[in-house]
Structure 1
Amino acid sequence: MTESSGVRLLGPAEIRGLAAELDVRPTKTLGQNFVHDANTVRRIVATSGVGPDDVVLEVGPGLGSLTLALLETAGRVVAVEIDPKLAARLPQTIAEYAPARAADFDVVLADALTVMPDDLPVTPTALVANLPYNVSVPVLLHLMSQFPTLRTALVMVQAEVADRLATGPGSRTYGVPSVKARYFGDVSRAGAVGKNVFWPEPKIESGLVRIERRDRFGTDAIHRAATFSAIDAAFAQRRKTMRAALASWAGSAAQAEDALRAAGIDPGIRGERLDVDDFVRLGQVPR
């Protein structure tokens, strides 16, 4: 257990003690792995760049390790937790370990895949989270889509997912998550996290991904849906040329070719060679 600015952080003993008190057994179903290393959570917060002016949205706070580190730095933290037992205990943990910051913390019992701005008591400006690995990409894309006030995101995900999110056109790992993440802004790898800082220790490596929102394409839901539809179709059969891959999406291979040419895209190219700007133009071609 470590202390800074009146906030005490959780260590391995505290994590296990809380879990025992609550009779919590981390489950694969909820993608639960609890971070128990103070240096790691402080590094995540430092990498996120959040400060006193930020209202941080945290997803899957679990027993509160990252939450407490965020309260050392951020102006306010609102945590979305799907597990009723964990959500009920969090305010008490914050009151015990960060009494001076308890008024700056809220927990919302909700599913991060469906949570909306009206469900939160405050408007978040930054997302910092150890995302549940089994739904990390859908959760990230949902939050970036539905919370346009989020100017930055720093999330911990499975290492190979981090690589996929942050890679650019031409990479063998470039695909749907890569392009959709780039729709919202600049995406980059922001570090690695070892297995030994978790309880239970996962079998996979973890990585940090940062998104700086740019909103180059606006925040209109219809525009985004049209773009995402084109992305999904292009990568459903990624080995095919765009002309062939988009046949069903456009109505026929000939119509797909017309749409591609109208968007200034070579019909013989594959989706993995295209950047998000190409898909935006394609999504706006009338069909």
Structure 2
Amino acid sequence: MRDEFTSKTKEILSKRAGARCSNPNCRKSTFAPHTDINKSINIGVAAHITAAEIGGPRYDPNMTSEERKSVENGIWLCQVDAKLIDSDEMRYTVEIIKEWRAISEKAALLDIECYTHLPTAETGEDKRIIRFFSQCFDRPAFQDEFVQEGSIEAFDRAIEDTITAINVGCLKDRNGNILFQCLGKSYLSNTDWREKMDSIVDMLRAIRSRYHLAIQLGQISIGGENKGKQYYVFHNYEVAKWFDETRAQIIYLFSAICKEAGIPKLVFPRKRKTSIYG
């Protein structure tokens, strides 16, 4: 028998996440107006962190029925990410899902705390957000050519962390410590800047997808680490070139925003004595 959430529990989970998907790489709004004035559209799901029944993902036999259907065992997600976490329980562990929930709830609270201070027109607040994004891009993942990465697994994590930072306004280091906090891209009052940041996030997601595909196809082989450096081999340098060209497009697009905001632009790649591409 499944230990289902009550309607009240689902409502609490939704509100605690600010009615957005709790995956920090998504943060999609889950509610919208219906064509019927008396209805609304909901694409959100109250998902169980540990399964509601035996045999389900991350099932914990030590939990009671009440614990399984409690708020503490739930997370609010869009339908896609609700399916995602149950499709690979080895990757999406209890710890990772709880971290998603904590980040989402902090972001929702930050939205409320900062919203009352937002200007009614595009002013210095937008520039503050763009400066925050500039800090997010100030890392080797957006400075070095792909073949010069010390660790491409760290590269993948840096891209993921940057997506999270742009979406929820929270930048963390490799150990999970918060470095900077601000507002996410949805709070940019300049619609052109907001649309450009939406495009940038889409391109960052494409980089992560292409990276994982390259691993699966054997276009990149990853070995162990030695003295802080990771061993890896490219079997297709066109893949590395694609990563570099895509990041160059991202930096070019973001630098256009920086120019309008009066903030120093970024350059990719940073100057090196030699380049694999000549």
Same fold (TM over 0.5): no
> What TM-score comes out, normalization by structure 1 length?
0.29
Which TM-score applies when normalising by structure 2? 0.29
